[in-house]
Amino acid sequence: MSTDRTQPIGLLGVPLEAGTGRRGAAMGPAALRVAGLAERLEALGWSVTDFGDVTQQPLDSVAPLTFPGKAHVPEVVASWVRPLARDARRLCDEGYLPVFMGGDHSLSMGSLAGVASHWQERGRPLHVLWLDAHADFNTPSISPSGNLHGMSLALTAGEEELFPVMADAPRATVDPSRMCVFGARSIDPKERDLLRRRGVTVCDMRQIDENGVSILMRDFLKKIKMENGVLHVSLDVDFLDPGIAPGVGTTVPGGATYREAHLVMELLEDAGVTVSLDIVELNPFLDERGRSAIALAELVASLFGQDVMDRPTQAFA
């Protein structure tokens, strides 16, 4: 992240809800705009351009996709994430720090494909911080539901079963050892085994309860600094406890508190390694008077430098 705030931020909406089992997430980008996301960032001194919403590829141009096991409407998901990958790559190439406003978590198949291809070409290792109650590391052959929002991190990690989703769109994988699922509290049994085999770091809520946010986050950020790496952050609404942010279709009790979530964002801002961000699974239809959208906008503002008091920059090397 550009600590002097000279890098422009590019907002891009992704009104995608086909990756989940219920409707409403397509309204997420509009809700984040109403919550004043752009205005909050501009008030912090950032230059912000809202590029509107990604344009869905015509469905009749997507060849039928088949997978082993379950995959719900993969052609519809593909029709969104393929053009998103191209837009994500373009925004990175043009020097923007892209913020992808969702939309369900399957959008990360496209956002990360484009972002990863950009940084691969530049020789910088990309790391992923997955702030989520779920690991989203299922594949069609092991998924209980077949919903693609539960498979997005697996595709990014290079699970070949899922490669047909992206077809010829820009694509680069991320080494699973450079991934951290943070805040998990609901992982399927076969998904857990796959995470272990691939070497993904999982910091579940018990570890957070026992060790605190600061220790776990600093360990992860030190690794990124040591590798001269960069970071993509993927923020799912259900990372937060549903008492704070009820506007999500996959609520799991016992999530991050308001202060824990803001501390994560403040530590990320201190580290200065974030180069792209997803905001996903906001479902305004399930929200209460905009609480979840406002909470997310406030969290993103913390990531981009909104502090109560000036603090000395922390060393992570």
Question: Quick check: is 288 catalytic?
Answer: no
Q: Which of 72, 105, 127, 262 is catalytic?
A: 105
DSSP letters for 214-240:
HHHHHHHHHHHHHTT-EEEEEEEGGGB
Question: Quick check: is 310 catalytic?
Answer: no
- Cis peptide before 45, with omega less than 30 degrees from 0? no
Q: Which of 118, 127, 134, 232 is catalytic?
A: 134
Question: Quick check: is 204 catalytic?
Answer: no
Q: Which of 118, 127, 149, 262 is catalytic?
A: 149
Q: Which of 159, 191, 238, 266 is catalytic?
A: 238
Q: Which of 17, 53, 87, 132 is catalytic?
A: 132
Question: Quick check: is 191 catalytic?
Answer: no
Q: Which of 236, 241, 260, 270 is catalytic?
A: 236
**Chain centroid to CA 93: how far?**
19
Question: Quick check: is 238 catalytic?
Answer: yes
Are the CB atoms for 24 and 286 separated by under 8 Å?
yes
DSSP letters for 142-207:
T-SS--GGGSHHHHHTT-GGGGGGTTTS------GGGEEEEEE----HHHHHHHHHHT-EEEEHHH
Question: Quick check: is 262 catalytic?
Answer: no
Question: Quick check: is 134 catalytic?
Answer: yes
Q: Which of 17, 53, 87, 136 is catalytic?
A: 136
Question: Quick check: is 136 catalytic?
Answer: yes
CA distance 126 to 208: 24
Q: Looking at the annotation, which residues are catalytic? A: 105, 132, 134, 136, 149, 236, 238, 281
